């Protein structure tokens, strides 16, 4: 027996990727919940990194700007520094050094949060506009009928939604 090498054509006539609006709503609601859970985890990691390194949001903004400028100019640093005002008005500002990896992690987590929030936003729009039934005219009689909406998903869409 020879092996079938053209897997792409192997299942070309099979149409298994048709789902009702109800099935899509259920899968998308689960996916939205999973993505929002992931966003919360990322926010927790950001807060933990900032707490461990005594970084305030103002310091983070300044160091991220320094990091981005260095990236644009092709420079690399091991540490980023920022001045922190002391609690007492007479004391000089204290210099805090933060490893570049911490700043890179903050940037990465924040950008992934933005991407995931866009995913959720897109799915909410789709859910809001999904119809349960569609109307059509019977070709022979001209009568108006309704039928359940069927949606065709790509293999990637199915994998993403967990079908």
Is 21 within a domain? yes
Is 1 within a domain? no
Is 42 within a domain? yes
More confident residue, 94 or 102: 102
Measured distance CA(40)–CA(35) in Å, rounded: 9
Measured distance CA(35)–CA(120) in Å, rounded: 7
Residue 36, pLDDT score: 98
Contact status, residue 63 vs residue 103, Cβ threshold 8 Å: yes
Contacts of residue 28, defined as CB under 8 A and 6 or more positions apart, other chains included, come to 123, 126, 127, 161
Measured CA distances, 66 to 53, 60, 77, 97, 109 (Å): 17, 10, 10, 13, 17
Q: Domain tally for the chain?
A: 1
Is 2 within a domain? no
More confident residue, 30 or 157: 30
The pTM for the full model equals 0.74
Is 10 within a domain? no
Q: What's the pLDDT tens digit per position in 54-84?
A: 888 888 888 888 888 888 888 888 888 877 6
Residue 76, pLDDT score: 83
Residue 130, pLDDT score: 93
With 60 as the cut, is the pLDDT of residue 2 above it? no
Is 141 within a domain? yes
Mean pLDDT confidence for 124-140: 92
Coil/strand/helix, residue 130: coil
Is 150 within a domain? yes
160: pLDDT confidence band, cut at 50, 70 and 90? Answer: very high
More confident residue, 70 or 125: 125
Is 92 within a domain? yes
Residue 129 sits in which domain range?
A: 16-161
- 58 CB-side CA count, 13 A: 5
Residue 15, pLDDT score: 65
């Amino acid at each position: 027996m020879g092996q079938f090498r053209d897997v792409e054509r192997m299942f070309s006539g099979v149409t298994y990727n048709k789902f009702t609006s109800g099935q899509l709503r259920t899968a998308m609601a689960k996916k939205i919940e999973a993505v929002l859970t992931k966003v919360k985890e990322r926010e927790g990691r950001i807060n933990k990194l900032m707490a461990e390194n005594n970084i305030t949001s103002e310091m983070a903004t300044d160091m991220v700007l320094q990091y981005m400028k260095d990236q644009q100019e092709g420079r690399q640093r091991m540490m980023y520094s920022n001045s922190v005002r002391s609690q007492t008005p007479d004391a000089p500002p204290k210099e805090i050094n933060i490893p570049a990896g911490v700043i890179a992690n903050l940037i990465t987590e924040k950008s992934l949060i933005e991407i995931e929030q866009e995913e959720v936003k897109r799915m909410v729009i789709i859910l809001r506009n999904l119809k349960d039934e569609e109307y059509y005219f019977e070709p022979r009689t001209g009568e108006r009928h309704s039928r359940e909406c069927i949606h065709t998903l790509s293999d990637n869409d199915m994998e993403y939604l967990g079908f």
